[in-house]
Chain A
């Protein structure tokens, strides 16, 4: 069965420290991959996406993600976290033959401490 896994439900990080959020997927073929951020009571904002090409993707707000086909992973990173990065982060995949149908991971709650 197709699945998207975010192993970390909750991550606490100090302001200024680096952050890495994990995402693994299980699909028949490499899907399209996305990372979204959601602030409390808000909708989702796209951070970055991967369709093909360069496996290191740059996004907004200083985020980047690396696609690793051998590990079926698409991990999100930020070198130095700001307090405003505290939010819920969702990895999402879109099967190439099911346009528009996103499957979301369970999400990772990021807490930033002073």
Chain B
């Protein structure tokens, strides 16, 4: 099946700094990528949808200035958590889909963010 990678797999940062998380589709062109957030022992919550070359569409309640999403190419989307605070600590997971994947979503392994 199609492979989606995320980098880094985990990151620890100080409060007030910004952190960038990359999501890459390794063997297919991802026309659409999704970003999810998962709190411990909880389900995944969709944060935003990004289409290549377009601005991301954010779900209600997600601060677009806090979580900057860029989908500049068909294989890469980035999520930047700006001015991170401890409450932003979470597991962030991306998924990707494209015409070659017959609209099936493939999930990345996730990135664990801890803000001190």
A contacts, CB < 8 Å to B: 36, 41-46, 49, 90, 99-107
- Whether B105 contacts A100 by the Cβ 8 Å rule is yes
- Whether B110 contacts A90 by the Cβ 8 Å rule is no
Known contacts: A43-B93, A43-B109, A44-B93. The answer to whether A100 contacts B104 by CB under 8 A is no
Known contacts: A90-B44, A106-B43, A107-B43. The answer to whether A100 contacts B108 by CB under 8 A is no
Chain B positions 64 through 88: 1 when the CB is less than 8 Å from some CB of chain A, otherwise 0: 0000000000000000000000000
A-facing residues in B92-109 (Cβ within 8 Å) = 93, 95, 97, 103-105, 107-109
Total inter-chain residue pairs, C-beta < 8 Å? 45
Is B25 in contact with chain A by the CB < 8 A criterion?
no
Name the B residues within 8 Å of A104 (CB-CB).
43-45
- B contact face: mostly helix, strand, loop, or mixed: strand
Report the interface size class on chain B. Answer: 20 to 34
A49–B101 Cα distance when bound, in Å, is 14
Name the A residues within 8 Å of B110 (CB-CB).
41-43
Return 26 A-B CB contacts under 8 Å, by A number. A41-B91, A41-B112, A42-B110, A43-B4, A43-B93, A43-B107, A43-B110, A44-B44, A44-B95, A45-B107, A49-B104, A100-B32, A100-B34, A100-B49, A100-B105, A101-B46, A101-B49, A102-B34, A102-B44, A103-B46, A104-B43, A104-B44, A104-B45, A106-B42, A106-B43, A107-B43
Give the distance to chain B from A61, nearest Cβ to Cβ, in Å: 14
- Whether B109 contacts A42 by the Cβ 8 Å rule is yes
